[in-house]
Structure 1
Amino acid sequence: MLGKLNKKYLFCIGAILTMSGCSSVANMVGYDTATMNESAAQNYSQIIQQVHDQKALDVSSPIAQRVHRVFSQLLPYANSANKTGIPFNWQMNVIRSDEMNAWAMPGGKMAVYTGMVEKLKLNDAEIAAVISHEMTHALLEHGKKALGGQILTDFGGVVLIKVMGMNRNLVGVGAELLSIKPFSRRQESEADAGGVRLMAEAGYNPEAAISVWEKMNKLESNNQMSILSTHPTNQARINAIRKMLPEVMPIYQKNKR
């Protein structure tokens, strides 16, 4: 379908989606770093309160203790890596759930689900790989960049539909292929790379990041990736981290605990 599009349409889409950095676009519409972090903090408080009310907040189990211990070890290095110009008020909570998940909001508001640790049988270095990956999402302001990318995509769709008369369905497909999906995969790769370096600086073996994805492969293989996949394949992540080992292993050797 896309192969039949007029060249001027593709040029227009590309120009709109690349006319400015996604972070800059978010800033222009009022979503600067401080505002994003403050909004995220408010949402995070509401989420954690709901989790507490549902009696799903884990504050004392061995898993929670391990997660908080690793988080505390990583924290000084995450603060040193913060180039946003705004200090983060990092927070970590552990949520009791079978879901294999962990996340970070703008400004360093984080959560790890017990299912992630339990189902993958994560050791402390592997927990560090998960947390440092999510920390890197926050440090690189991927939330703001994603917002900026969505603003550009929405704006581009309006221009193409209203001004050029393009078919609405074609606009949606073109914008998704050119912006949202590849951008999401790039974010994940960036978080993998930054996370591996962060955990090495904190004295955790970067090879543990490989074992996390090897374990994930056994439970949820995603190695048949399509063009619309939002994440790199597990095997692609493993391969990319292996290529980084010569760079980060000396850092780990210097700092290992």
Structure 2
Amino acid sequence: MIRAIRNLSAMGLAALLAACAQVQTTQSGLVGVNRTQTMSTLVSEAELNQQAEVEYRQILAQAKAKGALDTPAAQTQRVQAISRKLIAQVGVFRPDARNWAWEIHLLKSGEVNAWCMPGGKIAVYTGLLDKIQPTDAELAAVLGHEISHALREHAREQVSRQMAANVGLSILSAVTGNQAVADLGSSLTQVMFTLPNSRSNETEADRMGVELAARAGYDPRAAITLWQKMEQSGGGGQPEILSTHPSSQSRIADLAQASEIVLPLYQGKK
């Protein structure tokens, strides 16, 4: 049994390695984001962007049918204006992103949330504006962070990790015939791989986000007050955005350090 596991594991590992590539999706910028990323060649950037496009259209269509798309007009214009200033700066990290088919829409919803899909498909929820009441600089911090996730292709990186985990679990489950082992393995994989890498992804998006904001003319230090507001707004339950963007004192400290690095960029715009 042990030999069979080893043989199958070796075969699976060989197949997995053959389907992976070490890439650097962005330039490092002043904040120094230069981690080499492992991407599965089974899921290309183009394929993920295409899927994101399909899902984005569905979300917009549902919102439009409910009368919840790009309303109120004043909030929509504000979100789009700040987003465009940030998008104008993406070339510092990724020159090709200047040519992405960027879109920015406001969704009328009580959720405190915002996101940017692969390829530059942005959505901001009115709940973020109404409940957090961010300044323009704080809103730029949110948007810069979400845009940075897309620039870094963090979604594709997570898909690649999940594919790698599934290969290993399929091998183990096939040999042992034990579904409980597969379930335990899934939990272990999440702890061992998903959480640590998600933290690194969040740190990268934080650092890149404050640089985008500073270059666009927004005070990068607003990222600190923004996440503090997020944590303090949990009276009606945790804001949706914090379920995928956990905050902590170490995060605040890192944001403070990154903000100081790019502060001269902002001051030069004044």
Place the TM-score, normalised by the shorter chain, in its bin.
0.7 to 0.9
Give the C-alpha shift of residue 161 in structure 1.
2.5
2:251 paired residue among 211, 225, 237: 237
1:49 equivalent in alignment to 2:57: no
Q: Is the 8 A contact 2:103 2:120 kept in 1?
A: yes
Give the C-alpha shift of residue 111 in structure 1.
0.2
Superimposed CA distance per residue, residues 178-201 of structure 1 (whole angstroms, 9 cap, x where no aligned partner): 112222222112111110111111
The one-letter code of the counterpart of 2:126 is T
1:107 equivalent in alignment to 2:119: yes
Report 1:158-177 matches (<5 A). Answer: 158-163=170-175, 167-177=181-191
Q: Is the 8 A contact 1:57 1:96 kept in 2?
A: yes
Q: Is the 8 A contact 1:201 1:251 kept in 2?
A: yes
CA RMSD of aligned residues (A): 2.8
1:75 equivalent in alignment to 2:87: yes
Q: Is the 8 A contact 1:82 1:139 kept in 2?
A: yes
1:119 paired residue among 131, 145, 168: 131
Partner residue of 1:146? Answer: 158
Structure 1: tracts of 5 or more residues without a match: 1-7, 222-228
- In 2, Cα distance between equivalents of 1:80 and 1:190: 15
Give the C-alpha shift of residue 62 in structure 1.
2.2
1:40 paired residue among 30, 42, 52: 52
Structure 2 residue matching 1:160: 3-state secondary structure: helix
Partner residue of 1:89? Answer: 101
Superimposed CA distance per residue, residues 201-220 of structure 1 (whole angstroms, 9 cap, x where no aligned partner): 11100011011011112113
Give the C-alpha shift of residue 49 in structure 1.
1.1
Q: Is the 8 A contact 1:99 1:116 kept in 2?
A: yes
Give the C-alpha shift of residue 255 in structure 1.
2.3
Q: Is the 8 A contact 1:33 1:86 kept in 2?
A: no
TM-score when normalising by structure 2:
0.78
Structure 2: tracts of 5 or more residues without a match: 23-36, 236-242
- In 1, Cα distance between equivalents of 2:176 and 2:263: 53
- In 1, Cα distance between equivalents of 2:97 and 2:111: 34
Give the C-alpha shift of residue 164 in structure 1.
6.4
Deviates more, 1:167-176 or 1:46-55: 167-176
TM-score when normalising by structure 1:
0.82
- In 2, Cα distance between equivalents of 1:106 and 1:56: 23
Structure 1 residues 154 and 247: CA distance shift in structure 2, 3 A: same
Aligned residues: 236
2:227 paired residue among 213, 222, 245: 213
